[in-house]
């Protein structure tokens, strides 16, 4: 497991085939005894394409996290800093088919598909 801390951004990618876990960024134990109500959620699902700007989740100052899964048969990539996503480029995280992710940022998040069009299921809270 590799750790990389980058400000207030945490990224977690889970490979849906092998269930291996890779964590990039800060984070906590993941457990909580809080009885606070669950936050309101927004469906941010959509389709990523091979061109930049195909799927973008806008910046949101109140966002706690963006949870999602690549439900397509091709790799997707995302840039959680608001920059352009490009498969294989620095600043772009790649999520394999069936893989899931958790992004803790309030910046815009841009997605791209390795080929064709890729369905991405996401919930923002």
pLDDT at site 101 = 96
Task: Provide CB contacts within 8 A for 56, sequence distance 6+.
Answer: 108, 109, 110, 111
pLDDT at site 26 = 40
pLDDT at site 3 = 38
Share of the chain above pLDDT 70, in %: 67
pLDDT at site 81 = 93
Topology classification of domain 41-124: Jelly Rolls (2.60.120)
pLDDT at site 13 = 64
pLDDT at site 40 = 84
| Cα–Cα nearest to 21, from 101, 90, 98 | 101
For the chain, the straight-line distance linking the first and the last C-alpha, in angstroms and rounded, comes to 26
pLDDT at site 19 = 41
How is residue 31 annotated by DSSP?
-
pLDDT at site 24 = 38
**pLDDT lower than 70: segments of the chain:** 1-38, 52-53
């Amino acid at each position: 497991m590799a750790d990389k801390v980058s400000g207030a951004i945490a990224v977690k990618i889970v490979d849906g085939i092998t269930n291996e876990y890779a964590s990039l960024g800060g984070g906590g134990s993941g457990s909580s005894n809080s009885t606070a109500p669950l936050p309101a959620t927004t469906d941010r699902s959509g389709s990523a394409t091979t061109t930049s700007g195909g799927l973008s989740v806008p910046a949101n100052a109140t966002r706690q996290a963006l949870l999602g899964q690549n439900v397509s048969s091709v790799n997707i990539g995302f840039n959680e800093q608001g920059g352009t996503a490009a498969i294989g480029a620095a600043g772009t995280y790649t999520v394999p088919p069936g893989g899931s992710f958790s992004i803790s940022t309030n910046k815009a998040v841009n997605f791209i598909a390795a080929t064709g069009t890729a369905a991405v299921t996401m919930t923002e809270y």
